[in-house]
Structures are given as C-alpha cells and as structure tokens.
Amino acid sequence: MAILNVNPTRMELSNLKKRYKTATRGHKLLKDKRDEMMRQFVAFVKENKKLRENVEKELTKAMKEFLMARAGLSQESLESAVLMPGRQVSLKVSKQNVMSVDVPVFDLQISEGNIYPYGLLETTAELDESVLMLSNAFTNMMALAQKEKACNMLADEIEKTRRRVNALEYVMIPDLEDTIKFIKMKLDENDRASRTRLMKVKDMMAQRQ
C-alpha cells in the first residue's frame, strides 16, 4: 500500500482520521447498497426469464399457425388481410426509482375494437389463431422489454458500485491506514527526540549548577 504525500503533523493526522472514518462509513453504505441491488437484480432476472420463456412459446405457436394460414391463402389475400391494424396502440413511458436507478415503466394502452382487421369469411381459422396469439404475445413482449432494460441498467449500476467498493476497500482505506500509522510513528519519534533533548538540557543545567 502507498503512503499519501502529506506532512506528518497532528493537524494532518486529525484530518486523515476524519477521512478514514468517512471512507469506512461510505464503504459500509456502498456494500449494503450493492447487496440490496443484487437482491433486486436477481428478482428482476427471474421475472425476465419467466417472461422470455412465455414470449418465446407464444411466438413459436403463433408462427406455426401463421405458416399454416399462409399455406391456405394466396399471397394477395394474406397481405390484404393484415394490411391495416384492427386496434391502435400507444405506449407511455415513466420512471421508477430502484436503489437510485431510474428504471423505465411501460404503460401499454390498447384501444377497444376487434383484433381481427379483416372479415372472418375471407380467411382461415389458422390466421385467426395466429393473430390472437400475436396480440397476447405483444403485451408480454412490452413487459419483457421493460424488465430487460431494468436488468441492464441495474447491472451497470451494480458494476459501478462494485468498483467504488473495491477502490475504497483495497486502495483508499489501506492507504489512509498506512498514512495514519506512518504519521503516528513520526510524531512518536519526534516526541521521543524532544524528550531526549530536554533531558540533556536538564543534565547540562544541573552540571553547571
């Protein structure tokens, strides 16, 4: 560890002790914050994993139905059927504070109306099933996007906090400890030298008397 470039005085010793106290307190607070963020992160990851599995299953089923519908309809009929949406969708984004991290919150608003933008007599049941599955998957996809963004932001903040904790634990605090120890030794050495000089002066005065 390195000794800080400071003057070995009692004033500097007092300042370093205050810095050491602040650093150790900050280290504890940052460790507690990191641990709580890890707990929150694990919870988000579990939710994210469950949502991703559901979305992948829904999309896989929807694509199978769509392929079946595509086989039973002409290209023109299929394009005409899905050309215009049956509902309007709007997305409002707000923020939620999670351990000093502003993670996004998606508020998905879907208008009322028929999800099928075509006449049922003109298409197949497989296309109807595919559109229904995609509609259900869309809501979960938005929730998945929200969780994944939150996980990424928390992971970045955890990494930053971990670096700060390590810097305090392995660099700043040991340097302060070594510097405080060095100044104490210097001050003790100066005190011993002063006492020795005083004793010699007393001896010299005694001899003269």
DSSP 54-82: HHHHHHHHHHHHHHHHHHHS-HHHHHHHT
**What domain count does the chain have?**
1
In a domain, 88, yes or no: yes
Which residues of the chain fall below pLDDT 50?
A: none
Token pair for 152: 């990424």
Token pair for 71: 């086989």
In a domain, 188, yes or no: yes
pLDDT at 206: 74
In a domain, 32, yes or no: yes
In a domain, 2, yes or no: no
In a domain, 34, yes or no: yes
Q: What is the CATH number of the domain that holds 188?
A: 1.10.287.3240
Ranges assigned E (strand) in 35-185: 89-98, 101-110
Burial class (CB within 10 angstroms; exposed 0-12, middle 13-18, buried 19+) of 32: exposed
* Chain segment 162-184, per-residue pLDDT in tens: 999 999 999 999 999 999 999 99
Q: To which residue do tokens 């205050």 refer?
A: 18
Reported pTM: 0.75
Q: Which domain holds residue 41?
A: 10-208
In a domain, 62, yes or no: yes
**Contact present, 6 and 16 (Cβ < 8 Å):** yes
**Contact present, 48 and 100 (Cβ < 8 Å):** no
**Terminal C-alpha separation, the chain:** 52
**Contact present, 126 and 68 (Cβ < 8 Å):** yes
Whole-number Å distance between alpha carbons of 49 and 30: 28
* Chain segment 39-63, per-residue pLDDT in tens: 999 999 999 999 999 999 999 998 8
Binning the chain into helix, strand and coil, the percentages to the nearest 5 are 75, 10, 15
pLDDT at 179: 93
pLDDT at 1: 57
pLDDT at 18: 94
Whole-number Å distance between alpha carbons of 25 and 161: 15
In a domain, 65, yes or no: yes
In a domain, 3, yes or no: no
With vertex at residue 97, the alpha carbon angle to CA 95 and CA 98, rounded to the nearest 5 degrees, is 125
